Amino acid sequence: MDDNDTDLPTMRAFRGACLDYDATEKLMSGAFSGRSDIHAWLSECGGKDDICLAVNGVESWHVELAELLYTRFIVPLEAAGVPLTRGVDWYCFVASSGTTPFGVHTDAEPSFIFNLGPATKTAWTWPQSSLSVLSHGRPRTLDSAPLLPAADSVCLAPGDFLLIPAGMYHIFRNDGPSMFLGLTIYPEDPEQTATDALLHQMRRRRGPGVSAIDAFRDVLKDDSVELAVKRQAMLLRSSGYGSPPRFPSRSTDQRPPYIVTRLPIVMAGQSVFALGKELSLDLGGLADLLKPGALVGADELRDAATTPKLQAAVQALIRVGVLQSIGTPS
């Protein structure tokens, strides 16, 4: 809830296969007003029509977008038992022409692709076995033309969906101004999860005169790594398994009624995990009101928040965005 931009979505502008630093800077420091279409904005900022904009962490742009993506796509995957312990990334490519900046390549994760249009996109795919060794032994190539005759191809109309399994080679071509939304689900990696937790705990315990080795030994004496893994899992789930949505600190509370966020709210002991944040709160009867998407009015809050401590908890939930005001200013 501050003005730190380090958690902004990653935005990159490509021209052909090259990262265009100047266009990237102009796009990141500018603002899309919506007065023109996004492709005209890219052309204006980049100086030409051949800019391809790639954005990661799209779900962090706005809470309503994060809730929509979570409820429409992640909830069914979660219900189907798809492992989400390493999280997901929602990303977007916007371009008017050209092919994928990375050329023919594979990804270690499956790619869920939704063409948002308005133009079609053409996708070419190859099974891993057919391109197991490309020229010079590299796992990707920008010289796609000689490979296209042996590929399977499909034309994606606006609204079409394509699943590319992990390890399958692929490349896309923009047949005109178009945008696609992509979803990456990172595969389970228990060793990396434990390593991340270990490093987190070591950094917490390192102080003046404490070496990395001493911090390492100290962490292994107790169950802090296991607890850190569980805490991170709750933080991740509370943000819909993606990047936590950003809330502008300038937003104001317009009073009841409130809508409860549709992102998961995880309660563990005296902690509440919501929208990628941990709050130390005792919710008492307030917990019964926090149903995803529920409408909470002034009378319900008054009946549940009967003590100054619970009233402070309500303000904390509003501040973080668990309760989103849809009232009118007084």
Per-residue pLDDT of the chain (330 residues; tens, 9 = 90+): 344 555 556 888 888 888 888 888 888 777 676 666 788 878 777 667 788 899 999 998 888 999 999 999 999 999 999 999 999 999 999 998 888 888 899 898 999 999 999 999 999 999 877 776 566 656 678 888 888 888 999 999 999 999 999 989 999 999 999 999 999 999 999 999 999 999 988 888 888 888 888 888 888 888 888 989 999 999 999 999 999 987 654 456 778 899 999 999 999 888 999 999 999 988 888 999 999 999 999 999 999 999 999 999 999 999 888 998 886 443
Q: In what order do the strands lie in the sheet with 277-280?
A: 265-268, 271-274, 277-280
DSSP state of 285: G
Q: In what order do the strands lie in the sheet with 323-325?
A: 295-296, 258-260, 323-325
Place of tokens 């929509």: 68
3-state secondary structure of 120: coil
Query: Is the separation of the CB atoms in 265 and 273 below 8 Å?
Result: yes
Q: Which domains does the chain have, with CATH numbers?
A: 11-56+87-185 (2.60.120.10), 190-238 (no CATH), 258-324 (no CATH)
- The sign of the CA dihedral 61, 66, 68, 72 is positive
Query: Is the separation of the CB atoms in 257 and 299 below 8 Å?
Result: no
Alpha helices in 55-156 (DSSP H): 63-69, 75-79
Place of tokens 């404490």: 210
Determine the Cα–Cα distance for residues 142 and 252; give it in Å rounded to an integer: 49
Instruction: Tell me which residue of 185, 146, 143, 151 sits closest to 169, measured CA to CA.
Output: 151
Determine the Cα–Cα distance for residues 75 and 30; give it in Å rounded to an integer: 34
